[in-house]
Amino acid sequence: MPSFPSSEPLRPITHAEVSSFVSDGVVHLPGIVNKDWVDLLDSALRLMLEEPQMFADLTSLGGDLNETQDLTVLTEEGVKGGRFLSGVDHWKDNEIFAAFAKISPLPSIVAELMNSRKIYLYEDSVLIKEPGTAERTAFHQDLGYFHIEGKNICTVWAPLDGVNTETGGVVYLRSSHKNNRVFKPNWFVVNESLPGTEGKDLPDIEMGDEKLDLIHFDTNPGDLVVHHALTLHGAGANRSTSRQRRAVSVRYCGDGSTYKIRPGSPKKPHHESMRTGDPVIDHPDCPLVWDRAKES
């Protein structure tokens, strides 16, 4: 069993950072996680990539959607050769991913940002854009994919590589969480919504639209970007020919969160026994990972 780094952040979260999360729906937290956590995730991910069945190939998915459903894949001209890979819920069978999601500084950080007394782990995911990945990530909103609702739900984005605009950094629509509207989830590489989902389609958003208040951050290993589950965001292609873009995302919910079964959105096994309106409580598939009463 590996030895895990400290559960404490490397530095305090500032009042300005909390305010940014509340007002903008996203905040960049530079140099807040011990890079030993990143090294552990890096080593675990390298082993996992030797088992390709653990990841979905979104580049292949885009090709299938284009061919079978005549959907337009969001790609960048002149970029080619790389794959867009994703995986989900690695915390359930990998002890390093489980530790990062449950005992790293992440739970206490999101508890402070959301001012939540309790924090529950919803899921984790891995997103990889190899060098030369042409696919852009369609603008979307995380909450439409989740079978929960509430004000205290967020995603933590932890880069394993240095990420900037060239390699496909994430772009956020500032304060879009304040709309309080849940849009239909999409296919991630096309704008079209998943079939059978409810609500309104998300309007098309162009990555470089200067009329919109779009923000992005250059990030390094040890940084975190935390965004509200209602915040609209997307990402560009990886135009680099040598640099990959790997990130681990961890999704959490806090006080007041309840289950909301959303037709058409992919379910996890335990959602079959949940009903809309049931409170989120400690569950093996949605565990309590931080409790202010126990920390104080």
Please write the tens of the pLDDT for every residue from 196-239.
999 999 988 988 888 999 999 999 999 999 999 999 999 999 99
43-73 tens-digit pLDDT: 999 999 998 888 999 999 999 998 898 999 9
Res 208: pLDDT: 82
162-196 tens-digit pLDDT: 999 999 999 999 999 999 999 999 999 999 999 99
Mean pLDDT of the chain: 96
Tell me what the mean pLDDT of segment 28-39 comes to. 98
Indicate left, alpha or beta for 264 from its phi (over 0: left) and psi (-120 to 50: alpha). Answer: left
129-159 tens-digit pLDDT: 999 999 999 999 999 999 999 999 999 999 9
Tell me what the mean pLDDT of segment 83-91 comes to. 97
Q: Is the model's pLDDT at 296 over the cut of 80?
A: no
CATH superfamily membership of 15-295: q2cbj1_9rhob like domain (2.60.120.620)
The one-letter amino acid at 107 = P
Residue-range domain boundaries for the chain = 15-295
DSSP codes of every residue in 8-53: S-SSPPPHHHHHHHHHHSEEEETT-S-HHHHHHHHHHHHHHTTSGG
CA distances from 187 to 122, 263, 265 (A): 20, 15, 11
Which pTM does this prediction carry? Answer: 0.97
Sign (positive/negative) of CA torsion 112, 122, 9, 166? negative
Find the DSSP H helices in 90-130. 95-102, 106-114
Res 283: pLDDT: 97
Res 210: pLDDT: 86
Q: Is the model's pLDDT at 2 over the cut of 80?
A: no
Tell me what the mean pLDDT of segment 260-272 comes to. 96
For residue 1, what pLDDT band results from cuts at 50, 70 and 90? low
